Amino acid sequence: MMICVAGEASAILMSWALLETPEFATDLYRNESGSVRGLWDREFARRFPASRTREIAPLHIVPHAVNTCLAHGLWLATLRHTPESAEPLARQFAIGIAKSASTLLGHSKNTLH
């Protein structure tokens, strides 16, 4: 999310490119989606090796987290946030994902027994 607000020129250039070049937008979305998905998958693998959480999260949490990361990053850039002004919002987003994941994983654990 934070890379989208790395600099004002980056945000303006990115917005223009996304609007003016649909092929670029499509490629960027696919590449970013894959990169963000990889990041989430690696973190779950690192934090929850060989556990039920690792089985559940990629199916029920990661796809939504990836799409939300991409959407939030683009909105932060569109609204011309700086890294400093975006940080609390990104942290709030991460806390929301963690709470949702915790709820889902707790529910899944209770229904599996």
| pLDDT value of residue 44 | 80
Compute how many other C-beta atoms are within 10 angstroms of the C-beta atom of residue 61: 20
C-alpha 49/C-alpha 3 separation (Å) is 28
Contacts 24+ apart (CB under 8 A), 63-68: 63/37, 64/100, 65/40, 65/97, 65/101, 66/33, 66/36, 66/37, 66/40, 67/33, 68/93, 68/97
| pLDDT value of residue 96 | 85
pTM of model > 0.75: no
C-alpha 2/C-alpha 104 separation (Å) is 26
CA angle 1, 88, 96 (to 5 degrees): 75
Q: Quick: pLDDT tens for 37-94.
A: 888 888 888 888 888 777 777 787 888 888 888 888 778 877 778 888 888 988 888 8
